[in-house]
Structure 1
C-alpha cells in the first residue's frame, strides 16, 4: 500500500534519467520504473530494435540511442545528443553488463577481456561522458555492481573481477565528487531473473555452483522488485542499495567470504567434476550474443 506521503514524494518528475543496457533485463525494468516515477528516460544500448520496443512501451514513451558503452567517442556523441534533445541528465544508471563462465584456464581470452571492457571500462566511459551534466544538475550516478563484488565465485573470474572493479571505481567517484554535489551510489544485486541468469542455468557448471550456494544466496529475485529498489535508491540518492535487502548484512563479514568460498569449492568442485565437465560458456544471454554480433558487424 502506497502512502499519500510516498505519492507526494516524486523527486524524479521532470528529471532526465539515462540508463545503459536498457534493452532488456534490469536496465529495461529500471527504465520503466523511472518513467513511472515521472522521469524523462533516455535508453542506451546496442540493439536498436529492442530499444525502440522498450521506448514505445514506457509510460509517455522514451528516447533511445544505439551505442556501445566501450566507445569513448560514441558515448560522448550520445551524451551531447541526449543533452540537446532532452536536457542535461540528472540521473545516470550504469547498468550495461555481460558475463561468461567456466574455468579461467579454458576461457576465451577475447570473451574474458570483453567482460572487463563492458562492465568496468564501459562504466568509466559512461561516467566520463555524462559527468559534466551530473555536475551541472548536481545529479546522481548509480553504478550497478553485484554480490560478486563482495565475495568472488569460482568459474566467474571475469565477471567477479569486473564487479569488484566497478565497486572500487564508484567508491572513488563518491569521494571525488561529494564536494561538487554529485551523489554516487553502488547497487549490490544477487541473482536476478534475466535472460543472462536463465542462460547461465543452462550450463552445468554454473547451475551446479548456484545450487550449492546457501539458500538465500541461490534464490533468483524478480527483476521488477529489483528495479523498484534501485529507483527508490535513486530518489533518495543513496550511497548504497542492496537487492535483496539482506545483502546489506554481508558487508560486515565480507573479509570472511574468500576463505569460506575456497573451503566450499575445495569440497564441492571435485564432486561436481566427477559427473560433469567444466566447459567455458562464452558470453551469456541475449545481451552477450548481441555483443558478439555488434563486434562481428563492426
Structure 2
C-alpha cells in the first residue's frame, strides 16, 4: 500500500499530544485540549499559526467540539486526519468505585471518541481521510481495578471496527491504536496512587514494563501513514492483541501473583485514584 503522505495535510489531535505533534511536524496541526492555553503553547513550540494552532475543546461537549473542529478546518482549509487521544483512568474495584468516576471515564474515553469522530467526519469525509482513536492494550488485557478503563478501551476498539465498515465505501480509513504502558500524565497519576502503585509496581519490569515514548509515537505515525486498521505498540505485542481469548488466562495467572489484587483493593479509594492537582 502506498504511503499516505502527510505533507500539506491537516491533522487534528484531541487530548495530550505527548511527542506526537513533533513527529507529525511536516503536517499542519490542529491541537484541541480541555486546557486551551496548553494547546496554544504546544502549537507555538511547533511553529507559526500557519503550521500549528491550538483550540479549547472538551470531548464531553459535542457542540463545543464541532465549533472547535469547524474553526480548525476553516483556519487550515481542510482536515485530513483526526486522532482522538483524550483519555482518563481510575483505580478501584466495582464494589467501591464511585458511580460518577465510572461515568466520567466512560464518557471521556469512549463517548469522547464518538463525539470527536462525529464532529470531524464531514471534513475528513470530504478529503477521503483517516480517523484514528487511541485505545490501549487494555482493550485486550483486562486488568483488575480498571473496569471502566478497560471497558471503555475495548469499546473504542469495537467502535472503530464498526465505523470502518460504515465508511469503507466513502474511502475514509478508520484505525485504533493499542499501546502498552508508556510515560504519560495519566501513568504518573497511577504511580502516585497507592492502589495503582501496588497493582503495577511502578511499571518497572516484567509484563507491565513501560516502553519508550518514541516507540509509541513512531508506531502511531507509521500507522497513520499506512492508514492502518490496527496499530500495536510495540509490535512484539501484536499476537497478544490479535488473540486475546488465548492469551488472557496466561496473563491473569502470571501478571497478578499472590495477594497483589486484594492488596491493591485495600489501598483503593472510591474516587478511583488520588489524582494530583494540575
Which position in structure 2 is the counterpart of 1:179? 169
Shift of 1:122: 0.6
Alpha-carbon distance in 2 for matches of 1:137, 1:255: 37
Structure 2 partner of 1:3: none
Residue 163 (structure 1) aligns with? 153
CA distance in 1, matches of 2:80, 2:155: 24
Match of 1:130 in 2: 120
Pair 1:228–1:149, CA change in 2 (3 A): same
1:104 aligned counterpart, secondary structure: coil
Query: How far apart, CA to CA, are the structure 2 residues paired with 1:236 and 1:10?
Result: 6
From 226, 251, 254, give the equivalent of 1:236: 226
2:45 pairs with 47, 53, 57, which one?
57
Residue 274 of structure 1 and its aligned partner are, at CA, apart by 9.4
Structure 2 alignment gaps of length 5 or more: none
Equivalent of residue 11 in structure 2, options 8, 17, 40: 17
1: CA distance, partners of 2:171 / 2:58: 28
**1:270-297 deviation digits (Å, cap 9, x = unpaired):** 67529963334636766xx56xxxxxxx
Shift of the 87–268 alpha-carbon distance from structure 1 to 2, 3 Å rule, reads farther
Q: Following superposition of structure 1 onto structure 2, how do residues 184-263 of structure 1 map, counting pairs within 5 Å?
A: 184-211=174-201, 215-260=205-250, 263=253
Partners of 1:32 and 1:58 within 8 A in 2: yes
2:31 alignment partner in structure 1: 43
TM-score, scaled relative to structure 2: 0.89
Q: TM-score under structure 1 normalisation?
A: 0.83
In the TM superposition, residue 138 of structure 1 has moved relative to its aligned partner by: 0.5
Tell whether the 8 Å contact from 1:203 to 1:281 is kept in structure 2 after alignment: no
1:125, 1:89 → 2: CA distance? 16
Q: CA offset at residue 263 of structure 1?
A: 4.6
Alignment of 1:101-116 (within 5 A): 101-116=91-106
CA distance, structure 1, for counterparts of residue 254 and residue 203 of structure 2: 9
C-alpha displacement of 1:253? 3.0
Offset from partner CA, 1:215-246 (integer Å, 9 cap, x none): 55311122233112111111111111111111
Alignment correspondent of 1:277:
267
Q: Deviations over 1:246-284 (max 9, x none)?
A: 120203431034444555688534675299633346367
Q: SS of 2:141's equivalent?
A: coil
Of 64, 72, 82, which residue of structure 1 is paired with 2:62?
Answer: 72
Question: Structure 2 CA distance, aligned partners of 1:19 and 1:129?
Answer: 13
Report which of the two has the higher share of helix: 1
Does structure 2 retain, via aligned residues, the 8 Å contact 1:204–1:276? no
Counterpart of 1:6? none
Structure 1 residues 213 and 256: alpha-carbon distance in aligned structure 2, compared to 1, 3 A threshold: farther
Q: Secondary structure at the match of 2:175?
A: strand
- How many corresponding residue pairs? 274
Alpha-carbon displacement from aligned partner over 1:74-118 (angstroms, at most 9, x marks no partner): 111112111111122100001000111112211121122100000
Mark the runs of 5 or more structure 1 residues left unpaired by the alignment.
1-8, 291-298
